[in-house]
């Protein structure tokens, strides 16, 4: 092997070793997920450390917009609509920014959620701002978020770092959402029974799948509950009983083909089940 080739191999090996080097992140990524009532609250952030530095009024200037973490701005996601302050907040992901102050902080939800840092922050994108009082806590080396004091009605998204905690108060709409779910079930019990039948079908509990499919059909016959019943019978090996139901499901589904999302499966069954 020539000297040049030896040097080249050594260099490539060094580059490869360097590329695989893994070290702890200065501000590791973190996530908090908590369901309160019917709403799942998710906070995505990067967690810097104090490292003996002056944080408030030092590393983090007072009275200026801060990304509420490190690296990419912190985001808060609500799976369902909530209320913050007096503002209706639709389900979605929001950039979370703060303006720290000596005696009061401003907490901000921005409609822009993908900024790196705070330099490109624009107040015109704010959805809501709330003023809160900081609270003193025991020393915390790394910035952390948690969802605390949650009930079916309210939750608190807390930011804790150094010796300070600030909390974003969130009003949940659980009672309203639960009432809407109950109303939907009452107005369309057939769909609920079909959903239960499909669950049991996936679990290969064909007896229960058949029972719930029959209950659904008794309320309102559709291509879907008919097809589920056909599958439940086929799962029990009763193909002669299943085939006519598959044919009926196919006929019912053709009435509105745009919603006949198992059309290909039904068509295949009509071929596969013949003669069984």
Look at the pTM and tell me if it is higher than 0.75: no
Q: Is 191 exposed, middle or buried (0-12, 13-18, 19+ CB in 10 A)?
A: middle
- Report the pLDDT value the prediction gives residue 20, as an integer from 0 to 100: 81
DSSP codes joined into one string, 117-179: SSTT--GGGEEEEEEE--EEEEEEEEEEEEEES--SSEEEEEEEEEEEEEEEEEE--HHHHHH
- Report the pLDDT value the prediction gives residue 237, as an integer from 0 to 100: 96
* CA gyration radius, the chain: 29
Q: What is the fold, at CATH topology level, of the domain defined by 188-272?
A: 1.25.40
Question: Tokens 């009763």 — which residue?
Answer: 238
In terms of phi and psi (left: phi > 0; alpha: psi -120 to 50; beta: otherwise), the region of 237 is left
Crossing angle of helices 206-219 and 223-235, rounded to 10°:
160
Q: What percent of the chain has pLDDT over 90?
A: 80
- CA-CA distance, 28 to 70, in Å (whole number)? 9
Longest dimension (CA), the chain: 85
- Report the pLDDT value the prediction gives residue 138, as an integer from 0 to 100: 97
β-pair partners for 191: none
The 3-state DSSP composition of the chain as helix, strand, coil percent (nearest 5) reads 35, 30, 30
Parts of the chain with a pLDDT under 70: 1-19
CA 84 to chain CA mean position, Å:
19
Q: Where are the domains of the chain?
A: 23-175, 188-272
- Report the pLDDT value the prediction gives residue 8, as an integer from 0 to 100: 47
Count H helices, E strands: the chain?
Answer: 7, 10
- Report the pLDDT value the prediction gives residue 7, as an integer from 0 to 100: 44
Closest CA to 158 of 150, 167, 149: 167
């Amino acid at each position: 092997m020539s000297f040049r080739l030896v040097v080249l191999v050594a260099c490539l090996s060094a580059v490869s070793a360097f590329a695989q080097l893994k070290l702890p992140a200065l501000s590791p990524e973190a996530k908090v997920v908590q369901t309160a009532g019917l709403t799942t609250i998710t906070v995505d952030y990067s967690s810097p450390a104090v490292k003996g530095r002056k944080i408030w009024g030092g590393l983090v200037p007072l009275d200026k917009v801060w990304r509420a973490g490190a690296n990419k701005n912190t985001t808060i996601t609500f799976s369902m609509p909530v209320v913050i302050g007096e503002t209706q907040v639709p389900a979605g992901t929001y950039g979370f920014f703060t303006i720290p102050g000596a005696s009061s902080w401003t907490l901000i939800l921005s409609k822009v959620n993908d900024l790196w840092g705070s330099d490109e922050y624009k107040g015109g994108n704010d959805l809501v701002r709330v003023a809160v009082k900081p609270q003193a806590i025991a020393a915390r080396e790394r910035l952390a978020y948690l969802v605390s004091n949650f009930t079916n009605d309210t939750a608190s998204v807390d930011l804790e770092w150094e010796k300070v905690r600030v909390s974003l108060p969130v009003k949940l709409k659980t009672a309203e959402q639960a009432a809407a779910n109950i109303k939907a079930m009452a107005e369309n019990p057939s769909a609920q029974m079909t959903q239960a039948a499909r669950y049991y079908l996936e679990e290969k509990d064909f007896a229960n799948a058949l029972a719930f499919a029959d209950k659904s059909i008794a309320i309102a016959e559709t291509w879907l509950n008919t097809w589920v019943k056909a599958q439940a019978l086929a799962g029990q090996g009763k193909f002669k009983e299943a085939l006519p139901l598959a044919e009926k499901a196919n006929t019912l589904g053709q009435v509105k083909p745009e919603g006949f999302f198992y059309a290909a499966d039904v068509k295949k069954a009509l071929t596969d089940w013949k003669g069984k």
